[in-house]
Amino acid sequence: MNLKYLSSTWSQIHPTWQTFLTNSCKELLEQIDKKLSELSITNTIYPPPEQILRILTIAPKNIKVVILGQDPYHGENEANGIAFAVNDGIKLPPSLRNIFKEISLEYDVSTITDSNLLNSWTQQGVFLLNTTLTVIKDRANSLADIGWQIISNQIIQHISDEMEHCVFILWGNFARSKKLLVNKSKHLILEAAHPSPLSAHRGFFGCNHFKLSNQFLIQHDIQQINWI
């Protein structure tokens, strides 16, 4: 793979993902790499280059739950390559605050022990994928049309095709539009409103997705996720 801007993040991802991306979307990824190189001359792009493909450090065989986001946070030092997560020291974003609130409601706990980085989730096989993987500083959805969504669709499809008994959590209309990529005969699809303050009270709170995910995993003899 002939990459310049993405070379540091490419070297970190799991070999299975390297092979998959090389075989399925080499030319497109190289085009995105060229575009990002050009844009970075006059723009600040998030997340940093070495973190753009960070979620792909998780081996496909270890994925249990897929949670889809839309694009990275566009504020300074917020995005880190994991959907919904933010770096330590950054103010808790409203959507992540509502995600923690829903977990607190489901499990009747007052606090969530995991950090805003959500490292404990990814280590357990929670695949938090933004369908667009980069953004220009202070410009939400600014890089939604450079090809990332084609690649993320292929990633979702690959997980659906190759894995067994995964949970796909789709919050909001954009994420829900991806359900056609998932084989519902072998995977569980959970849908609800987005956790954003604009919509959380219209079906996100009370969705029970974290408990439902674990119930499905247990039914298939898969170690459940410790969400708290």
Round to whole Å and give the CA distance between 142 and 132. Answer: 10
The residue from 71, 138, 145, 161 that is catalytic is 71
Cβ atoms < 10 Å from Cβ of 33: 20
- Burial zone of 50 (CB within 10 Å; 0-12 exposed, 13-18 middle, 19+ buried): middle
DSSP string, 44-85: -EES-GGGTTGGGGS-GGG--EEEEESS---STTT--SSTT-
In contact, 217 and 224? CB cutoff 8 Å: yes
* 138 is annotated as an active-site residue: no
In angstroms and rounded to an integer, the radius of gyration of the C-alpha atoms of the chain is 17
Cβ atoms < 10 Å from Cβ of 37: 15
Would you give the DSSP letter of residue 12?
T
Catalytic residues: 71
